[in-house]
Structure 1
């Protein structure tokens, strides 16, 4: 089972010495494999300390080096005026803690998945999220794929990068003895080469904008920040829709698409109804959904998930994978 890194108060104090003097330390829930702490400083500030353990033996390939990715993305997004926590300190020295540390400002608010929203407020948040996505995707890079060198999944073109990403998750599946339809998935990627090649500019994609990573103002439920940028990549903006609806397989939320268009972006999916808009955009979305479903199916094993929800979760992800491949293979 993937075990979080134990961190003592003394270790926290040592890591935070360049930032300030520690007053109190409180664990935060939510991280699947990182240790996340809220730390009060003597000067009155609250900060978040996130420790990603040095042991990579139970990580999927794309997860290698994600601590550095998160810090880099926050900095890029912050410079672009996007609502993210400011990075205060990064420590990858392993001198004080057995892992990599990112320290950010602590932002007040309530997570979207913990907020009690009526239909109107929920629609407004989804539209705001679409607007944030469009602004994020204006940030461009010079290579495609996952940026961390240790992942080895950065390439010159999007078809090359996406193909490497697929091969990485298939290798992870073999490593953890998780059956996946290798041949069908590879064939779908080969068949989709032309539509993937139409993506020629690497754009910053958060890839994990589900409600658990979106912060709202508790008073009026406005979107105030997005968090946990560690799985970000350079690629196709359409990929963003998969991270925002990780078990989705059908229509795309029209409010999200409306917010995206209102902010000057266009994803090519029309009103979000399957078949609307550009067929090539839907082909790319199906490829990304198939890839993401593979990640969800495989990660269950190294993370040793437990609970009544696990069987249904894995079955839904596997069903989505089969559905996407069926749709991609349809004449």
Structure 2
């Protein structure tokens, strides 16, 4: 019996599901941290199994117990009817969930009009997600400590953690860690405007949005919620407009606001957005070291992501 089949049988047993109708276990591409496998059954059912790397594998500080956070995201999404996997069981450090229909957005070969329609649908879905509130601020995994009573405490701990990771892994950054830290601190007062912890996916780039093409394209699922935290809804706009600016996306923003999403691009809101952009781009640059990224990806990150980090820091410093 292969390791993959043994993993599948153990998690199926923990879920109280039969194992005899398991046909195959197939690895899926796209996961950059956890191992992702598809379980196919005789009746055509599909389940998705995610397995974390071994505990001794190098990782960023916040990358611990991510699958528990992912399960929490899916449970939150279910309360507002957002399309996302349903948790079957979280056991033995692994997450078993239902499969969502569709193809990752960036691989779906969409016409421009279809893109606009999907951006409008996505605006409504994200507004729905942001109605979900949590018990405190920060990562629910406890990797950086317990949830905080305020967003400033939580986010500054998150930011300090990725800067500590950059030092620890000696990651290449376009500015020194100390300079990044000094610049970020100038905008921390803007975080005090956030008083309610909302559900934030924080990784809603097109690869984590499935598009179903049964007739007119529609969003089939919001997946890979492992980076979720409780915090400022504005933080989701960073990956939703990855390497860009959400203010250039009227299709999304119009429906987001029509469906109850609260956003006003004040000077302090833009300061917070710049902080969140810099946080994500710091992660993207730093993680290349523990992930042992290849030369091509490292080159892309330095050429494309690093200028975005610099621009965000300049906005903060300005």
Is 1:236 the equivalent of 2:236?
Answer: no
User: What is the TM-score of this pair, normalised by structure 1?
Assistant: 0.88
Match of 1:144 in 2: 137
Quick check: 2:184–2:316 contact (8 Å CA) kept in 1? no
* Equivalent position to 2:117, from 124, 136, 139: 124
1:203 lines up with 2:198 in the alignment: yes
Equivalent of 1:305 in 293, 301, 313: 293
1:31 counterpart SS class: coil
- Cα distance in 2, alignment partners of residues 67 and 152 from structure 1: 17
Q: RMSD of the alignment, in Å?
A: 1.9
Say if 2:304 is the partner of 1:295.
no
Query: How far 1:264 moved relative to its partner?
Result: 1.4
User: What is the aligned residue count?
Assistant: 310
Of residues 94, 97, 106, the one that matches 1:104 is 97
Uncovered stretches (5+) of structure 1, i.e. residues with no partner: 1-5, 93-99, 270-277
Residue ranges of structure 2 left out of the alignment (5+ in a row)? none
| CA displacement, residues 191-223 of structure 1 (integer Å, 9 cap, x when unaligned) | 223211000000000001111111111232111
Distance 1:261 1:307, change over 3 A: same
CA distance 1:76–1:249, change in 2 (3 Å):
closer
**After superposition, what is the alpha-carbon deviation per residue over 1:212-247, rounded to whole angstroms, capped at 9, x for unaligned?**
111111232111210000000111111001122332
Of 257, 271, 292, the residue aligned with 1:283 is: 271
1:108 is paired with a residue whose SS is: coil
State the partner residue of 2:27: 27
Task: Give how far 1:160 is off.
Answer: 0.8
User: Does the Cα contact within 8 Å between 2:61 and 2:165 map onto a contact in 1?
Assistant: yes
How far, CA to CA, are the matches of 1:20 and 1:79 in structure 2? Answer: 28
SS in 2 for 1:23: strand
What's the CA shift string for 1:22-79, capped at 9, x where partnerless? 2222111111121111112245421111111232541111111111100111112112
Shift of 1:254: 1.9
Between the aligned partners of 1:204 and 1:7, the Cα distance in structure 2 is 35
The whole-number CA distance in structure 2 between the counterparts of 1:120 and 1:193 is 39
- State the Cα distance separating 1:249 from its structure 2 match: 5.7
Counterparts in 2 of 1:26 and 1:126: CA distance versus 1, 3 Å: same
SS of corresponding position for 1:230 = helix
Report if aligned partners of 1:113, 1:212 keep a CA contact under 8 Å in 2.
Answer: yes
